[in-house]
Structure 1
Amino acid sequence: MPPRYRYEEIADDLRQRIDAGEFPPGSRLPSRRELTVQYEVTEPVIDRAMQILRVLGVTETLAGVGVFVRDDAPSGS
């Protein structure tokens, strides 16, 4: 199994937390700054993780407001 990038691990962790109900549909995810501290990574790493979640249809970004869990987000299970 090839090594995984840190941003992939973070995206997976956030996805699991969303699926577990920690971040229910419509809720706002922590800010980029909060996530960099929590995961001990740089902002570009968080940006890539957020991009994965957005492409998968799990989140949507409202410019200047934040990243939110979509009401119709597909389940990761």
Structure 2
Amino acid sequence: MNSLQTYRQIADGIAARIANGDLPAGTLLPSYQQLAAAHGVSIATTQRAYALLGFQGLVYGEPGQGVYVADHAAAATA
């Protein structure tokens, strides 16, 4: 599996969890390192996954704090 497919699969999985309410607004998501370890991928792959979710308006990053589910994420996935 190439990294393009992998980062999209990771992003799609997180987006689905946001859409079904498993990850409500304000939830702190795993760090890049934690997500990379959980999926057996590089940190660059997890950065791309979070960047895609950010572009979609589902998450936002707080420098030095982490990546959070956006307040309007549920509406964005509907």
Alignment partners' CA distance in 2, 1:27 and 1:54: 14
Counterpart residue type for residue 9 of structure 1:
Q
Give me the CA root mean square deviation. 1.3
Counterpart of 1:62 in structure 2 is 62
Q: Where do 5+ consecutive residues of structure 2 fail to align?
A: none
Task: Count matched residues.
Answer: 74
Structure 1 residue 75: deviation in Å?
3.8
Give the ranges of 4+ consecutive aligned residues of structure 1 lying more than 3 Å apart after TM superposition.
none
TM-score after normalising by structure 1: 0.87
Q: Which structure has the highest helix share of the two?
A: 2
Secondary structure, in 3 states, of the residue corresponding to 1:9? Answer: helix
**Any unmatched runs of 5+ in structure 1?**
none
Partner of 1:24: 24
SS in 2 for 1:5: helix
